[in-house]
Amino acid sequence: MGRSLPGVSSLGVLDYYLMDASSLLPVLALGVQPGDTVLDLCAGPGGKTLALLLTGYCRHLAANDISGSRTQRLKQVLHSYVPRDRNQVRVTSQDGRKWGDLESSTYDRVLVDVPCTTDRHSVLEEDNNIFKRSRKTERQMLPMLQVQLLVAGLLATKPSGVAVYSTCTLSHLQNEYVVGRAIDILASQFQTDVQVEDLSCFRHLFQDTFSFFPSCRVGELVLPVLWANFGPMYFCRLRRLT
């Protein structure tokens, strides 16, 4: 049975957007409050940006992606799903690693949904697979890129503000290691203290929907299983203290 395409609502936008349900967890973990300024640092193709808008709480939302093609997809998603008079998103295509210099200590909430090995897509798709031999160097450099993006995202966060780091990989090297390394760099090079916040409540709230890995040192990890084929999705909430 084929999947039907979304129809157009009375507001002139499409009815629904299909995405992995676990992709909403980083947005929920961000805990956006009414009037917050929000940055989506690696926003393309736009699903999480759309979810942030749907909270109705963003006073201003900046959505950035370094990739030109992903930025175009992001713009297309916003055009298709958000009424023009309600679109308060500033879309940019900058190197996210520079955001700490571009807009230091600016945002109440920052989502850092970094490029990763995208495990599910890597298993299912041959085209542009990051495990291709030709992309070996790019793959090996991912953890360094992820650390740089998280550091930049936290520097763009206001003191007492919150950032959420997320990936769609099972890799410890791209998940917990990146969080720990970013915290160390912020403390030693930028005299900025960051605290990881407990997200174990998500395991209880969504225990009937998702399967969570029980032994994450920091953050939470959704595992794909037969009865709940979502993820993988890793997310960790960090509060900037200084």
Active site residue 216: no
**Dihedral over Cα of 225, 143, 117, 96: its sign:** positive
Ligand-binding site membership of 42 (annotated): yes
Ligand-binding site membership of 95 (annotated): yes
Measured between alpha carbons, how far apart are the two ends of the chain, in Å? 54
Q: Ramachandran region of residue 44, left (φ > 0), alpha (ψ -120 to 50) or beta?
A: beta
Ligand-binding site membership of 48 (annotated): yes
CA distance 185 to 96: 17
Ligand-binding site membership of 159 (annotated): no
Instruction: Report which DSSP code applies to 214.
Output: T
Ligand-binding site membership of 75 (annotated): no
Contact 157, 110 (CB under 8 A): yes
Ligand-binding site membership of 113 (annotated): yes
In terms of Cα–Cα distance, which of 164, 146, 29 is closest to 97?
Answer: 146
Ligand-binding site membership of 58 (annotated): no
Ligand-binding site membership of 47 (annotated): yes
Q: Among the options 58, 116, 168, 236, which is catalytic?
A: 168
Annotated binding site for S-adenosyl-L-methionine: 42-48, 65, 95, 113
Active-site amino acid positions? 168
Q: What residues form the annotated binding site?
A: 42-48, 65, 95, 113
